[in-house]
């Protein structure tokens, strides 16, 4: 089995994955959302301290199975360096004490592997990654990631979080804004769709966020209507840019991953778009959209088979900018 550890942001998670079958044997996660909610976003120092207590607590569940663990996989980049270091320190200690190799895991590649939990890999694959840190379209081929489009400013998850904060709805914003949007009218406010007139293969969400702020200041529409109209504009923006890629890339399989891929409006819109372009849409189960160790373990299995191990002294945490 592979023991995997995830601590790139505000989820402490540990999993065990069987190497021969990709089967998820154990998966535990302690989310810190409630702890950060009062601050309207993740406080890195607090997150780091909470990992320091949560990770050892979950590791105890793994103890009866330690004899079967062949390697330890840990998220090393990108993420918040102070929180990544908690998982990395634990992984190094486990590697030394059990005398097993260490596998460094890229968080974005791990999100792609949320699609393959208890399944075979799909390759080649076009992927829309929408999370709190990233908004990207990636071509995943022969196990390598090629970036086709990225955001010029905020990410999708971040824009939901910021809108929720402006409307005083709490953190994390994605699920709350989605709930409010269900009760609102998406046509109540016509927000500008970012970069809609531009041929650029890129995303941008900070202008839309500012448009939402101005609309809130006008005090003319309900929170529900603002959420629905905002979510509608984000979805249109994602679809417009994805269409451009669909027109030029014939890859049959397309997937959406990352925390914001749990959004039902976005999922449904892509179901229609994929039908139109004759693509097969792949989505991870909702529990594996947000950060988790199961996806880390699934990628760990692939890297274990390739013997892609790292030296302890070479593993460091890399922050979001890297």
Q: Considering the complex, state which of residue 259 and residue 297 has its C-beta at the smaller distance from ligand KG4.
A: 259
Residues 11, 152: Cα–Cα separation, whole Å: 26
For residue 131, the 8-state DSSP code is S
The answer to whether 6 contacts Zn ion (rule: CB under 5 A) is: no
Q: How many residues bind Zn ion (CB under 5 A)?
A: 2
Closest CB 284 distance from Zn ion, rounded Å: 12
Dig out the tokens for 207 from the structure. Answer: 């202008």
Q: Interface with ligand KG4 includes 246 (CB under 6 A)?
A: no
Tokens read off for 52: 């320091």
CB of 312 to ligand KG4, least distance (A): 25
CA 263, 295, 37, 43 torsion: positive or negative? Answer: negative
Quote the tokens at residue 249.
């890339």
**Residue in 274, 275, 195, 181 with CA at minimum distance from that of residue 231:** 181
Interacting stretch for ligand KG4, rule CB under 6 A, among 66-74, 120-128, 173-181, 185-193? 173-181
Q: Smallest gap, in angstroms, from Cβ of residue 179 to ligand KG4?
A: 9
Least distance in angstroms from the C-beta of 108 to Zn ion: 8
CB closer to ligand KG4 out of 101 and 173: 173
Q: What does the per-residue mask of binding to ligand KG4 show for 251-290, with x meaning CB under 6 A?
A: -------xxx-xx--------------------------x
- Piece in contact with ligand KG4 (CB under 6 A), picked from 31-39, 129-137, 246-254, 270-278: 129-137
Question: What sections of the chain are H helices per DSSP?
Answer: 33-37, 44-59, 81-98, 107-113, 156-166, 173-182, 206-218, 223-248, 264-276, 293-305
Edge-to-edge strand ranges of the sheet holding 253-257: 202-203, 144-151, 135-141, 125-130, 253-257, 280-283
Q: Compute the Cα dihedral for 131, 133, 136, 142 and give only its sign.
A: negative
Q: How far is CA 99 from CA 92, 96, 305, 311, 314, in A?
A: 10, 5, 18, 12, 17
Site mask for ligand KG4 (CB under 6 A), range 175-214, x = bound? x--x------------------------------------
40 makes contact with ligand KG4 (CB under 6 A): no
Kindly state the smallest distance separating residue 176's Cβ from ligand KG4, in Å.
8
300 binds, options ligand KG4, Zn ion, none, Cβ within 5 to 8 A by partner type: none
Site string for Zn ion, 284-313 (x = CB under 5 A): -------x----------------------
> Could you say which of ligand KG4, Zn ion, none residue 81 binds, taking C-beta under 5 to 8 angstroms by partner kind?
none
Cα distance between residue 315 and residue 96, in whole Å: 14
Does 131 interact with ligand KG4 (rule: CB under 6 A)? yes
Nearest CB to ligand KG4, comparing residues 157 and 184: 157
Q: Does 291 bind ligand KG4 (CB under 6 A)?
A: yes
Region for 170 from its dihedrals, namely left if φ exceeds 0, alpha if ψ lies in -120 to 50, beta otherwise: left
Distance CA 125, CA 107 (A): 17
Distance in Å, CB of 196 to ligand KG4, minimum: 21
């Amino acid at each position: 089995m592979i023991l995997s550890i995830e601590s790139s942001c505000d989820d402490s998670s540990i999993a065990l994955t069987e190497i021969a079958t990709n089967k998820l044997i154990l998966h535990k996660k302690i989310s810190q959302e409630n702890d950060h909610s009062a601050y309207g976003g993740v406080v890195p120092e607090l997150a780091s301290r909470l990992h320091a207590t949560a990770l050892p607590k979950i590791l105890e569940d793994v103890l009866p199975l330690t004899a079967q663990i062949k390697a330890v996989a840990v998220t090393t980049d990108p993420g918040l360096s102070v929180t990544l270091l908690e998982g990395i320190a634990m992984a190094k200690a486990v590697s030394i004490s059990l005398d097993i190799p260490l596998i460094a895991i890229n968080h974005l590649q791990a999100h792609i592997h949320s699609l393959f939990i208890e399944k075979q890999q799909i390759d080649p694959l076009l992927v829309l990654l929408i999370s709190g840190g990233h908004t990207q379209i990636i071509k995943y081929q022969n196990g390598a990631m090629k970036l086709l489009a990225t955001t010029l400013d905020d990410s999708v998850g971040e824009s939901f979080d910021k809108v929720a904060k402006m409307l005083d709805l709490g953190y994390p914003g994605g699920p709350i804004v989605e709930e409010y949007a269900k009760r609102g009218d998406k046509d109540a406010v016509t927000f500008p769709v970012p970069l809609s007139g531009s041929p650029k293969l890129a995303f941008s969400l900070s202008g839309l966020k500012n448009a939402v702020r101005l609309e809130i200041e006008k005090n003319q529409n309900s929170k529900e209507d603002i959420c629905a109209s905002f979510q509608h504009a984000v979805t249109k923006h994602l679809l417009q840019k994805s269409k451009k890629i669909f027109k030029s890339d014939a890859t049959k399989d397309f997937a959406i991953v990352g925390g914001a891929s749990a959004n039902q409006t976005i999922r449904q819109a892509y179901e229609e778009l994929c039908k139109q372009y004759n693509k097969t849409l792949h989505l991870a189960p909702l529990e594996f959209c947000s950060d988790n160790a199961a996806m880390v373990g699934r990628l760990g299995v692939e890297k274990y088979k390739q013997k892609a191990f790292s030296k302890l002294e070479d593993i460091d945490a890399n922050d979001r900018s890297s």
